């Protein structure tokens, strides 16, 4: 198996020595994050989620962004230093290329580290052990895997959906789906975006209906005008990077389980979604809508860390939540059914958000979203809430980021700002 995979090492890599140790332990790729960020001007204020970065990196504030002084050359120069240090170490060890270093654990001297008081009692022998015939075995990636991309379902959908994609004719297609069908929709959405850009197709132009269990990243980067419906369940990363499409997940008509009591989609759904809608007839796993910046979703329960680092969009939760809801949430908002009071008494991370009362406009919006959810999924939970609306609405709370609320109030009181564009 080693010959068919590429091993990457990341996490606090800062120097050429770090790269050398990682290579000797078997890594072929090296991920840098914090160090290049510092090279470009980051001063580690730990305020990335507050929109108040004083050096203009992690902020959307126009005035703060003026403070950014970084240039590509700063990062390039940093990596020159890393490369030069790595070359010196390679020369000392007798290697001409990084490829030659991969997996050569006999070149690591652990004595100095083990004698250090922080490493007292640490036994690295299992990590550094070289079994018999070690040098005759494959220590790095030597062959490319065949991912059978030519056989993915997207190509069949492209053929069947020709009229919808190229002539905007409303089309409905039906397919079985299995958990080996991963990233379904990516190639179709790419084709739509190549032709129409971010605007995509008119709403519900291409309706793709599936029955079964969808694989990871179902509906990834879904473009506007494409509606994905699954009668069954999906794995992790549903709707990752959703870009205007609509996703509907509902329990099979013949199933007798109670949808709102069962998990129907996996973890990290709608990660980084920017636009679109999702209606989920059941419970989602952990980290639902993390880094969502514009999508709208209705779900009947979520796991831990829902809405983490969310910067935009709307989320409606018609059931229980896990802990740490809204951690680092700086934009968008959520409506949560607080049936037993647990949500507002410990499950929500209140560091950056407030619990706002449901206003008249909020009530109208929330009811409309639940009605859409019922229309798309035939949700029993949604029907129960709508049937007893006067009582149900009193149990909802609105989760609103503090800074986002202030920004909206400021925008409402300011005159529209018009920027003049000049063409050189």
Please check whether residue 147 lies inside any domain of the structure.
Answer: no
Does residue 419 fall inside a structural domain? Answer: no
Mean pLDDT of the chain: 92
Cα 27 to Cα 19: distance, rounded to the nearest angstrom? 9
Do 244 and 389 fall within a single domain? yes
> Which helix or strand (DSSP H or E) is residue 229 part of?
strand 226-234
The count of structural domains within the chain is: 2
Closest CA to 210 of 228, 191, 196, 230: 230
My answer on whether 7 and 115 are in the same domain is: yes
Is residue 143 included in any domain, yes or no?
no
Domain boundary pick from 76, 103, 136 = 136
Tell me: do 195 and 283 sit in the same domain: yes
Residues 120 and 156 in one domain: no
Report CA-CA distances (Å) from 235 to 100, 221, 284, 299: 39, 16, 10, 15
Q: Are residues 200 and 305 in the same domain?
A: yes
338 and 397 in a common domain: yes
Residue 145 maps to a domain: no
The answer to whether residues 247 and 256 touch, using CB atoms and an 8 Å cutoff, is no
Per residue in 394-421, pLDDT tens? 999 999 999 899 888 888 887 665 555 5
Residue 142 domain-assigned (yes or no): no
Report the candidate in 42, 44, 37, 52 with the shortest Cα–Cα distance to residue 352.
52
Same-domain status, 108 and 189: no
Residue 34 lies in a domain: yes
* Residue range 1-25, pLDDT digits in tens: 888 899 999 999 999 999 999 999 9
User: Are residue 273 and residue 384 in the same domain, yes or no?
Assistant: yes
188 and 60 fall within a common domain: no
CA 105, 106, 112, 115 torsion-angle sign? positive
Does residue 141 lie within any of the structural domains?
no
Indicate which CATH number applies to the domain containing 318.
2.160.20.60
Q: What is the pLDDT of residue 112?
A: 67
Domain boundary among 103, 136, 169: 136
**Any domain includes 357:** yes
pLDDT tens by residue, 142-172: 888 888 888 899 999 999 999 999 999 999 9
- Are residues 236 and 132 part of one domain? no
Instruction: Say yes or no: 123 and 181 in one domain.
Output: no
| Residue 100, pLDDT above cutoff 60 | yes
Based on the domain organization, do 77 and 186 belong to the same domain?
A: no
Domain membership of residue 62 as a residue range: 2-136
Per-residue pLDDT tens over the stretch 185-235: 999 999 999 999 999 999 999 999 999 999 999 999 999 999 999 999 999
């Amino acid at each position: 198996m080693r010959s068919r995979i590429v091993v990457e090492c990341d996490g606090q890599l800062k120097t050429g020595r770090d790269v050398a140790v990682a290579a000797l332990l078997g890594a072929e790729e090296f991920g840098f994050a914090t160090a290049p960020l510092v090279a470009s001007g980051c001063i580690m204020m730990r305020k990335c989620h507050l929109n108040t970065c004083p050096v203009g990196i992690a902020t959307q504030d126009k005035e703060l962004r003026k403070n950014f002084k970084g240039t590509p050359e700063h990062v390039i120069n940093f990596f020159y230093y890393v490369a030069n240090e790595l070359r010196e170490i390679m020369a000392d060890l007798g290697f001409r290329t990084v490829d030659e270093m991969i997996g050569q654990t006999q070149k690591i001297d652990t004595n100095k580290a083990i004698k250090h008081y922080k490493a007292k009692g640490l036994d690295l022998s299992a990590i550094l052990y070289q079994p018999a015939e070690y040098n005759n075995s494959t220590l790095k990636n030597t062959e490319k895997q065949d991912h059978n991309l030519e056989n993915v379902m997207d190509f069949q959908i492209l053929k069947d959906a020709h009229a919808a994609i190229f002539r905007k004719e409303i089309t409905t297609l039906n397919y079985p789906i299995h958990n080996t069908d991963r990233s379904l929709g990516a190639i179709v959405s790419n084709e739509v975006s190549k032709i129409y850009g971010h605007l995509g197709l008119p709403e519900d132009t291409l309706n793709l209906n599936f029955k079964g269990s969808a694989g990871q990243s179902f509906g990834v980067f879904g473009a506007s005008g494409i509606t994905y419906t699954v009668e069954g369940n999906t794995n992790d990363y549903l709707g990752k990077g959703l870009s205007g499409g609509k996703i509907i997940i509902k329990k099979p008509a013949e199933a007798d389980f109670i949808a709102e009591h069962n998990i129907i989609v996996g973890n990290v759904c709608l990660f980084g979604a920017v636009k679109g809608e999702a209606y989920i007839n059941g419970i989602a796993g952990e980290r639902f809508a993390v880094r969502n910046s514009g999508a709208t979703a209705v779900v009947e329960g979520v796991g831990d860390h829902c809405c983490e680092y969310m910067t935009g969009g709307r989320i409606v939760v018609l059931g229980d939540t896990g802990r740490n809801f809204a951690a680092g949430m700086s934009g968008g908002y959520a409506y949560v059914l607080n049936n037993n009071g647990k949500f507002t008494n410990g499950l929500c991370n209140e560091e950056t958000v407030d619990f706002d009362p449901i206003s008249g406009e909020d009530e109208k919006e929330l009811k409309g979203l639940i009605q859409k959810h019922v229309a798309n999924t035939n949700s029993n939970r949604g029907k129960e809430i709508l049937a007893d609306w006067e009582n149900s609405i009193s149990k909802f709370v609105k989760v609103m980021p503090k800074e986002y609320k202030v920004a909206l109030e400021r925008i409402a009181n300011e005159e529209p700002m018009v920027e003049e564009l000049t063409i050189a």
